[in-house]
Chains A and B, each alone.
Chain A
């Protein structure tokens, strides 16, 4: 993977295509979890890849590509959320089921959880569970102290537990 990043940074567009393939699903899970619908999530992801291509030359530490790219997605997604001036709407996360195979019960649970969690809580859970980032990496991506990462992940899990309990 580092070889791909190195070649892409040196201007190899084929190598960058390999990076798009490798990171599109992870990146999509993140933008989708923040924005709540697949069209805006895909727009933001596309914008993030284009931005990454343009500023890849400024990336000094090749092994930091993963967190660097996640930070781009986070920033663009949060900007989009700010533009809308709302967190969630009734329709949010309704299209999730069309994209992934899951049981009826899981579907109800995950949609309810995503709709009720805050943007910050959704984002941090995806960074941890889907992208598999360490607490230090999450602190770096979100620009928050390590202590806040610990407490926010804990709070997000507690909140999700409450939400799932509510429905019995």
Chain B
């Protein structure tokens, strides 16, 4: 093998990309040829220098910053019902004083919206959260129907 050919293959040889035959030829050549051997050694030194870059990384607290940005950007369609449910809960508490069923509902809504808020911080769009929100909305609708029913009856009296 001539020097020119060997040098054109040195980079691939260094990376173990040559087939067995070509690899062996290069290996034998650099054993015999001091100039090509020197070039190969230079490439090894370059690899060591670039390897020093493995020691760098982003500043402390990077992971926390990324994660808090991601949590803030969670799907608004999933986060929106949470404050809405809080408002519903307050409305029920105000309007349904004395009625056991409404009190229970308002406690349930308050607790559930708190649970969902904390779950959302851990999981973004898991099926669990979606199912929970759908059931919350269904219960809210039923509660609203109860409430209107009561108001209408009150007005009719």
Contact = CB atoms under 8 A, between A and B. Distances in A.
B140 interface: no
B73 interface: yes
A71 to B, nearest CB: 18
Interface of B: 8, 10-12, 14-15, 17, 39, 42-43, 45-47, 49-59, 62-63, 65-67, 69-71, 73, 121-126
A25 interface: yes
Contacts, number: 117
A25 B57 contact: yes
Interface residues of A, number: 45
A42 B59 contact: yes
Interface string A12-24: 1110110011001
Interface string A95-122: 0100111100010011001000000000
Given A20-B67, A24-B58, A161-B42, A11 B126 contact: yes
Contact of B43 (A50, A101, A157): A157
B11 A25 contact: no
